[in-house]
Amino acid sequence: MLPYKSLIHLDKARSVPVFIQLGDQLLQLIRTGTLPAGQRLPGTRQLATLLGIHRQTVVAAYDEGLAQGWLDSRPGSGTYVAAHVQEARPQSLPASASAENALPAAQPVGNRQTPGYAFATGPHLIRPVMTSLTGLRLDDGFPDIRLAPMDELSRSYRSYFRWGDPQRHFGYGDTKGHPLLREQLTQHLNETRGLQITPDNVLITRGSIMGLHLTAQVLLRAGDVFVMGESSWAGAAMNARQAGATVYTVPVDEQGLDVDALARLCAEQPVRMVYVTPHHHYPTTVTLRADRRIRLLQLAERWGFAIVEDDYDYDFHYLSRPILPLASADRQGMVVYVGSLTKSIAPAFRIGYVVAPTDLIDELARLRRIIDRQGDPMLEFAIGQLLKNGDLKRHFRKALRTYHARRDHVCALLTDQLADEVRFTKPDGGLAVWATFRSDIDPVAVVERAHKHGLSLADGLSHDLPGRRFNSTRLGFASSTEAELDACVAILRKAVQAGR
């Protein structure tokens, strides 16, 4: 007989029932070949005595093995390892019979780090996951969730449960998004962005990054040329590379993307897609100049490339009426307009959208179907209701006034307290200031010192280019009150001047 007392170690103090522990360890012995196919197991009384447990515990463990097909009961003979279990190479028995060197219980797959098979990794996907910071912070440009219309949203959620047919509400919905949200969002975009679209031109997604991913997967193929600004959002490049495209960059200056450099690139090789954030370029916040906008559309028409316009914070512009997006002037269907309500409400509410010609929207919806099937109908309905009854528009106006005041406040603080150390241009819109430290100041050291005093901010290294250091970072102001901004800049000033 095998030394079961040495091979099986049960811990009654664990939350896992003892019969499950016993069943798992028997299964492990079968998998390793210690208990080969056809091996007779001890009787239930015998094994219970050996292990010092109740006989019914052994019975329950054997029943579990029988139910899962690992064991086989032969009337009048006993319980055996099932004959169909594939033979495995037996492991050597422990040198001494003690609980310390007993075989461990079977470990769940989730506890393993390396799978038993090979797979390709994508270096372009390795990037820290950005999370919302707590405490004092000058973040990447997040909204203040304390301003979000939570009460109104809660009422809209409740109305979802009271309105209409439950079968329709809680069954499968339209892959393109809830009809109410698509209708209301269409009206909102036409009124505020100068678009001329119908709900058929709109696909609701879980944030703008999903819209960008779907667009890249549909429009890009291996070897295609994808162009973006030298300094730009890393998520766009990640999606392009994931689709197999080759990423090229062109310079970005105080007037936005250098379209002359783009024109020279188009003359050298075929360009398939150009990614831009023209309203407030990420990360520098500059606005693409009007003549460059016209030229960009002309280049797209001439060379036949798609423009992906990521308008991630259009709703927050502080100079009268914001400049209309490229999509508003697109007459040849060259622009794929991607946006999000994440920055407008709160990051947890994953509502984004893609606006494009209907043929592309149909194809994006077909691809989305095999990834996500549909979005969140309840959330989409609730946001649609907020648009319909005006609550969301009122929130936009309130948030815009608040963020405008906070922008002015943080810029005044930086000018007053760090004029010699930090250079910046007051942004026309957006939720962050692009700040450049004096060349002899190390942002990494500044961040480390600031952290020690309770202030979180980024060192900006992720925005640098190979061989070129901007010595800059984004200082998000929207998520902090003016009093909190006072404390933030005071700590930042100490952290900067402590390095002298």
pLDDT of residue 121: 79
SS3 308: strand
Give the pLDDT of residue 165: 67
408 shares its domain with 356:
no
Residue 435 located in a structural domain: yes
Within a domain: residue 143? no
- Picking from 392, 425, 457, the residue at the C-terminal end of a domain is 392
User: Is the same domain home to 401 and 385?
Assistant: no
Out of 392, 410, 438, a domain closes at: 392
Yes or no: say if 102 and 10 are a contact pair by the CB < 8 Å rule: no
Do 328 and 455 share a domain, yes or no? no
Q: Please tell me whether residues 268 and 379 are part of one structural domain.
A: yes
Is the distance from CB of 241 to CB of 213 less than 8 angstroms? Answer: no
Assess whether 388 and 398 both reside in one domain: no
CATH number at residue 418: 3.90.1150.10
- The CATH number of the domain holding residue 340 is 3.40.640.10
300 and 436, same domain (yes or no): no
Q: Please identify, among 366, 392, 418, the residue that sits at the C-terminal boundary of a domain.
A: 392
CA distance 108 to 24: 10
pLDDT at 61: 93
Residue 312 and residue 419 share a domain: no
Residue 241 CB neighbour total at 10 angstroms:
18
At 70, which CATH number?
A: 1.10.10.10
- Distance (Å, whole) CA 480 – CA 376: 29
Do 358 and 412 lie in one domain? The reply is: no
- Tokens standing for 113? 């780090």
Q: Does residue 224 lie within any of the structural domains?
A: yes
Instruction: Supply the pLDDT for residue 169.
Output: 66
Question: Are 248 and 186 in the same domain?
Answer: yes
**Residue 262 belongs to some domain of the structure:** yes
> CA Rg, the chain, in Å?
30
Alpha-carbon distance of 287 to 253, in angstroms, equals 10
Q: What pLDDT, on a 0 to 100 scale, did the predictor assign at position 454?
A: 93
Q: What string of pLDDT tens digits covers the 500 residues of the chain?
A: 688 888 999 999 898 999 999 999 999 999 888 999 899 999 999 999 999 999 999 999 999 999 988 899 998 889 999 988 765 444 555 554 444 444 455 555 556 777 777 878 788 777 777 666 678 999 988 999 899 888 888 888 787 777 666 666 666 778 899 999 999 999 999 998 999 999 999 999 998 899 999 999 999 999 999 999 998 888 899 999 999 999 999 999 999 999 999 999 999 999 999 999 998 899 999 989 999 999 999 999 999 999 999 988 888 888 877 788 999 999 999 999 999 988 777 777 788 999 999 999 999 999 999 988 787 888 888 899 999 999 999 999 999 999 999 999 999 999 999 999 999 999 988 999 999 999 999 999 999 999 999 999 999 988 888 778 899 999 999 999 999 999 999 999 999 988 66
In-domain check, residue 107 = no
Residue 122 lies in a domain: no
Same domain for 66 and 197, yes or no, is no
Calpha distance 352→211 (Å, rounded): 7
Distance, CA of 222 to CA of 216 (rounded, Å)? 11
Domain span at residue 258 reads 149-392
Residue 269 in any domain: the answer is yes
Looking up tokens 């003690």, which residue turns up? Answer: 98
| 455/377 same-domain check | no
Is residue 406 a part of any domain in this protein? yes
Q: Does 398 lie in the same domain as 420?
A: yes
Count structural domains, the chain.
3
204's CB contacts (< 8 A; 6+ apart) are 176, 177, 178, 181, 182, 185, 351, 352, 353, 375, 380
- The DSSP-derived string for 85-147 is SPP-PPPPPPSS--GGGSPPPPPPGGG-SS-SS-----GGG--PPP----SEEE-SS---GGG
